Amino acid sequence: MKSKIETKRKGNTCKFNFSYRFLCLLVFVVVSTVFISAQNSEQAVANDTSKEQARVIGLKNICVHVLELEKTLKLYREILGFKLDDADVFKGKGIEGMLAMKLKANDLTITLSLTAPEYLHTIGPVGNTNHNHFMLQVNDIGPIGDKLKEEGYTLENENYVRDKYTFFVGPNGEIIGLSAW
């Protein structure tokens, strides 16, 4: 009698082992399929990200051309609470003699630009940073600059792709800078 029971158990064990192995194989195939599908999906997202449209990714800076130094400093420092963070005198065509004072309030920086009197005649059209403007940081300036030109905007810097910046006048007279650095 014992031998019959042992045979039955052996037979059930074989069926159980086969069922267990089949189930494990099925789970492995399903998990592998899901894993491969997820990897392909991630790669598709990565490819879409690399083909992401050129766009604005942040505010680079705000620049205010100073016409009245004492009133300007009183407003920004004494009333609004900005602190002087840095100052620099720029040199180069169109920006000779420009003093740029960076004022900070928490994480906001405003640049006040002041041109030395002997250089006032050098203040030119858009593109000269001696004017009121805000500069937007972009992830890819080439396509954006090209689209602006297609739409009829005049770009101050025709070498915007190489130099990674340019300025243009918006439809309301606002001066907008673009920077990819």
Question: What is the CB-side half-sphere exposure of residue 147 using CA atoms within 13 A?
Answer: 9
Give the C-alpha separation, 77 to 90, whole Å. 22
Question: pTM (2 decimals)?
Answer: 0.58
pLDDT digits (tens), the chain, 181 positions: 555 545 455 555 555 555 556 555 555 555 555 555 555 555 554 445 446 899 999 888 898 888 788 998 999 999 889 999 999 887 766 666 778 899 998 888 898 888 777 777 666 554 454 468 888 999 999 999 999 999 999 999 999 999 999 999 888 788 899 999 8
Six-digit token string for 35: 């894993």
pLDDT at residue 126, rounded to an integer = 47
DSSP 102: E
Q: Are residues 38 and 71 in the same domain?
A: no
Transcribe 25-93 into DSSP letters: HHHHHHHHHHHHHHHHHHHHHHHHHHTPPP-EEEEEEEEEE-SSHHHHHIIIIIIS--EEEEEEEE-ST
Residue 90: how many other CB atoms lie within 10 Å: 15
Q: Are residues 45 and 127 in the same domain?
A: no
Q: How many domains does the chain have?
A: 2
Q: Are residues 124 and 141 in the same domain?
A: yes
**Which value, to the nearest 10 degrees, does the dihedral of the CA atoms of residues 139, 142, 145, 146 take?**
-140
148: Cβ contacts below 8 Å, ≥ 6 apart? 155, 168
Q: Are residues 79 and 44 in the same domain?
A: no
Q: Are residues 70 and 41 in the same domain?
A: no
The alpha-carbon radius of gyration of the chain (Å, integer) is 33
Q: Where in the sequence is the domain holding 45, given as residue range(s)?
A: 1-49
CATH classification of the domain holding 69:
3.10.180.10
Q: Are residues 8 and 67 in the same domain?
A: no
